[in-house]
């Protein structure tokens, strides 16, 4: 059991914002996994020379469009991760900052 007393999460405070950002990051990662699954589903032909599955010509345009979306989402994940790291660092600073005496 943690020694700290549990405090109710209030809308708009730093802990609430961090929790919401974590949820958003989780959702973005789930969206990326879904799109990557779609990319895998489009690789339906086997190339005996390279011994790999390839995308048939009729699906190349769709494959490129989905791949572009995956790349965009990877950028969103990087940004969301950095923002979350900054928020957690700010929370740590606020909690460890010495109180000022009057």
> Whole-angstrom Cα distance, residue 82 to residue 23?
14
Cα distances from 5 to residues 1, 2, 8, 11, in angstroms, run: 10, 8, 10, 19
- Sign of torsion over alpha carbons 60, 64, 65, 66: positive
Q: Please state the domain extents for the chain.
A: 14-94
34-65 residue pLDDT tens: 999 999 999 988 888 888 888 999 999 999 99
Phi, psi of 59 (to 5 degrees): -110, 5
**Sequence-ordered strand ranges (E) for the chain:** 45-47, 52-54
pTM score: 0.76
- Percent above pLDDT 90 for the chain: 60
């Amino acid at each position: 059991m943690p020694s700290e007393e549990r405090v109710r999460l209030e809308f708009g405070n730093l802990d609430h914002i961090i929790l919401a950002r974590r949820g958003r990051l989780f959702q973005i990662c789930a969206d990326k996994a879904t799109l990557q699954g779609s990319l895998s589903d489009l690789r339906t032909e086997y190339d005996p020379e390279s011994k790999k599955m390839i995308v048939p010509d009729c699906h190349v345009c769709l494959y490129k469009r989905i791949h572009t979306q995956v790349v965009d989402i990877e950028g969103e994940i990087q940004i969301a991760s950095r923002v979350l790291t900054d928020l957690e660092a700010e929370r740590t600073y606020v909690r460890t900052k010495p109180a000022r005496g009057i």
